[in-house]
Amino acid sequence: MSRCGRSGEGATGIIDGMAFLNDRDRAAVRQEFEKLAGPVKLIVFSQELVAGDLCRQNEQLIQEVAELADGKATVEVLNPAIDRERAEAYGVDQVPATVVEGSRDYGLRFYGIPSGYEFGNLIDAMIVASTGEPQLSEATRASLAALAGDVEIKVFSTPT
């Protein structure tokens, strides 16, 4: 049973009998996952009472994606109301949320369901987390090194 409160279906249960990813998408993701250099952990924060449908859909999508990584990706589902310390440690204060970790926490977070244009960013985040090295040009690295402090970047998108 997931911590979001569902029972009677497995962690890989399909909502309404439909998978998020079709065969072509699964093949493309498997090909991208050939770039995974190490293990990736996907930590999903879900809470049935707050956003049940979105949480279930997010859990399903993340589980489908992890299953395509040939054992290099694991999924852990937490409820921020129950697992408060973990939620605070990750800075997660809303659901659904997904943390993407490699050998350490690089601060990669997705709020909401990473579908549509954000789906590619999820796959890229998993690859980067698995390598521990962002794919940035030297000019970009130099610009980032010149910043006076940490910068938090948030990207907002809406389904179309």
Give per-residue pLDDT as tens, 17-34: 578 899 999 999 999 999
Q: With pLDDT > 90 as the criterion, what percentage of the chain qualifies?
A: 68
- What pLDDT, in 10s, does the model give residues 86-142? 999 999 999 999 999 999 999 999 999 998 889 999 999 999 999 998 888 999 989
pLDDT of residue 32: 97
Give CATH for domain 15-145. Answer: 3.40.30.10
Average pLDDT value over all residues in the chain? 87
Distance in angstroms (rounded) separating the CA atoms of residues 63 and 57? 10
Distance in angstroms (rounded) separating the CA atoms of residues 94 and 92? 6
Backbone angles phi, psi at 57, to 5 degrees: -65, -40
Supply the pTM of this predicted model. Answer: 0.82
Distance in angstroms (rounded) separating the CA atoms of residues 144 and 6? 43
Query: 10 Å Cβ neighbour count for 8?
Result: 6
pLDDT of residue 17: 55
